[in-house]
Amino acid sequence: MHYPPLHDTSLDSLAGAALPDRSTMTVGSSRVAVVDYGAGNLRSAARALARAGADVVVSDDPATIATADRIVLPGVGAFAQCIRQLRERTGIEAALDEAVNQRGTPFLGICVGMQLLASVGHEHGVHQGLGWLPGIVTRLTPADPALKIPHMGWNRVTAANASGVAEGHAYFVHSYRFDPEDPADVRATSDHGGAFPAIVARGNITGVQFHPEKSQAYGLAFLKNWLTSPPPSQGGGRGEGLSVGEGRNAVNTLPPAPSLAGRGSL
């Protein structure tokens, strides 16, 4: 079923909409693939991308993924479960490597999809990640023992390393954090009893710990800018093509944290 870009419909109003299945959708001339590996909130991600103006194909087909113009890897659950399910889907990891690492296809990992970029994850054992951004995934350890884990709810995103990422409030649901080996890969942070990376990026690879699809205006602006920013090979630089920073899709202020009324966890 074809799912055209949505420009005037709120994300919440799409709750009953059918999920697009293997149909092509574009931003301009771009096709965006959301990877179906059995461990992502596919409907929420697809709807958010459509709301941002994208045309999306949700697919577990390696050829479809490898030839997409942009790729989104959602992730919900534990690192061990997600990396196992990804690798159990024949050909998906190789297709991702071909597209992202060999051809420079813009890539966005969401929540655990971001954490899978790491070299290794320490959740339910020690597990090898994709290793695209060398680093480690470990449990959040707030300095204030009264702070609950998982970290769940709205929190501020603050630019790091002069990245130009605009600041705002985003919605988080996680118990683990991804720390890249190279501090320059951290483009924004948030805080839950201590700072942790909220956005990481290098070249065409971007990851966000928050959920853009649940982050209302801030998340929508982030997705719009990621969808329309040129890949590094087309004029971007380290970490560009990711920000909600300067430009027509910017979120330049810190709005009050939106109400959580009626919004459950993912």
**Domains in the chain: boundaries:** 12-234
Which residues have CB under 8 Å from 202's CB, separation 6+?
A: 133, 182, 185, 238, 239
Q: Which of 170-187 are b and which e, b meaning 16 or more Cβ less than 10 Å from the residue's Cβ?
A: bbbbbebbbebeeeebbb
Residue range 224-236: mean pLDDT, rounded: 75
Instruction: Please identify, in words, the CATH class of the domain defined by 12-234.
Output: alpha beta
CA–CA distances in Å: residue 139 to residues 43, 121, 177? 27, 9, 6
Q: Residue 59's pLDDT is what?
A: 94
Please state, in angstroms and rounded to a whole number, the distance separating the CA atoms of residues 227 and 108: 10
155 vs 238 pLDDT, higher one: 155
How confident is residue 20, by pLDDT bands cut at 50, 70 and 90? very low
Provide the annotated active-site residues: 111, 211, 213
Cβ atoms of 178 and 138 closer than 8 Å: no
Closest CA to 74 of 105, 101, 48: 48
Tens digit of pLDDT for each residue in 150-195?
A: 999 999 999 998 888 878 999 999 999 999 999 999 999 999 989 9
